[in-house]
């Protein structure tokens, strides 16, 4: 809904009426609004690193280039900003491919437990913070049909967020349960959490709870939006639960154990 207010005012200046018109925003209008927001967000996200680079390059050509230490430092800023833009454009291209359905899932049958363990191992090896990893994974194999590159990207993204938004001394708990027809994966951290009214928005494109903080950590604000598209492409669901100051759980499901009997006997 969108409201338009008209004030009815007499020549004397006294307000003696207020008309409120509520418009139903049609689906089409909503899509159009989202598109405009998206274009404006993209422009803003690209403009920021570009203006930073411009000032540093200007300073370099104004003489900083002749001071070895300063010159090196300014070049490194320009490099960091270039890398941020490359990440952003890569993410945008990926989203646009998913939007236009210009992609195929390259699926394989894999044991999800083994697959998940390998990803967690990789993070555990490269850990930069004091964060304890707790695995609550089944001991028996659980076979799923997934595009391993895409699901790896989803899990990578969730684990890096869990690390990014957690202090030293925290923990990340990994849980997998097989229910009827689906696999439920939970990645639970003991980090800063997300305010209640914003939890569902973190999967929106460019949505960040704390823009400045997230940017300083190098994020593009597109990671979870891409993850959501990828999970939907697998016919799964993804959502979050969080308590501010206590921690966040990201859940996703994948179809599991649904043997298509017709295929089987064809």
| Site of interaction with ligand ADP (CB under 6 A) | 157, 161-162, 165, 189, 191-194, 202, 207-210, 214, 219-225, 248
Nearer to ligand ADP, 64 or 155 (CB): 155
d(CA 173, CA 137): 10
Number of H helices, E strands in the chain: 7, 9
Residue nearest to ligand ADP (CB): 219
For strand 182-189 and strand 171-179, is the pairing parallel, antiparallel, or unpaired?
A: antiparallel
Give the shortest CB-25-to-ligand ADP separation in angstroms: 25
Q: If we measure between CA atoms, which residue out of 171, 160, 167 comes closest to residue 219?
A: 160
Nearer to ligand ADP, 191 or 236 (CB): 191
d(CA 220, CA 157): 11
Q: If we measure between CA atoms, which residue out of 75, 79, 144, 82 comes closest to residue 108?
A: 144
Give the shortest CB-192-to-ligand ADP separation in angstroms: 5
Nearer to ligand ADP, 120 or 144 (CB): 120
Answer for the pair 27, 44: CB distance below 8 angstroms, yes or no: no
Give the shortest CB-94-to-ligand ADP separation in angstroms: 13
Give the shortest CB-66-to-ligand ADP separation in angstroms: 37
Answer for the pair 234, 151: CB distance below 8 angstroms, yes or no: yes
Cα–Cα–Cα angle for 224, 230, 231, nearest 5°? 90
Nearer to ligand ADP, 137 or 217 (CB): 217
Give the shortest CB-36-to-ligand ADP separation in angstroms: 20
């Amino acid at each position: 809904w969108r409201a338009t207010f008209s004030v009815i005012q007499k020549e004397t200046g006294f307000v003696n009426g207020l008309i409120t018109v509520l418009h139903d925003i049609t689906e089409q209008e909503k899509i159009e609004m989202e598109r405009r927001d998206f274009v404006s967000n993209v422009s803003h996200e690209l403009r920021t690193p570009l203006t930073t680079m411009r000032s540093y390059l200007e300073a370099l050509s104004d003489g900083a280039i002749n001071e070895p230490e300063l010159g090196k430092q300014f070049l490194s800023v320009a490099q960091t900003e270039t890398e941020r833009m490359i990440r952003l454009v890569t993410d945008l291209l990926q989203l646009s491919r998913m939007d236009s359905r210009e992609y195929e899932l390259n699926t394989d049958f894999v044991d999800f437990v083994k697959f998940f363990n390998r990803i967690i191992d990789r993070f555990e090896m490269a850990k930069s913070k004091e964060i304890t990893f707790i695995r609550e994974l089944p001991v028996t194999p659980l076979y799923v049909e997934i595009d391993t590159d895409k699901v790896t990207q989803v899990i990578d993204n969730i684990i890096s967020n869990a690390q990014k938004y957690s202090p030293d001394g925290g923990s990340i708990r990994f849980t997998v349960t097989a229910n009827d027809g689906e696999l439920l994966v939970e990645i639970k951290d003991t980090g800063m959490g997300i305010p209640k009214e914003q939890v569902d928005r973190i999967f929106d494109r460019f949505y960040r709870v704390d823009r400045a903080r997230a940017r300083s950590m190098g994020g593009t604000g597109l990671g979870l939006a891409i993850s959501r598209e990828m999970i939907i492409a697998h016919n799964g669901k993804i959502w979050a639960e969080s308590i501010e100051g206590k921690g966040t759980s990201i859940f996703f499901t994948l179809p599991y154990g649904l043997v298509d009997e017709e295929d089987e006997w064809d």
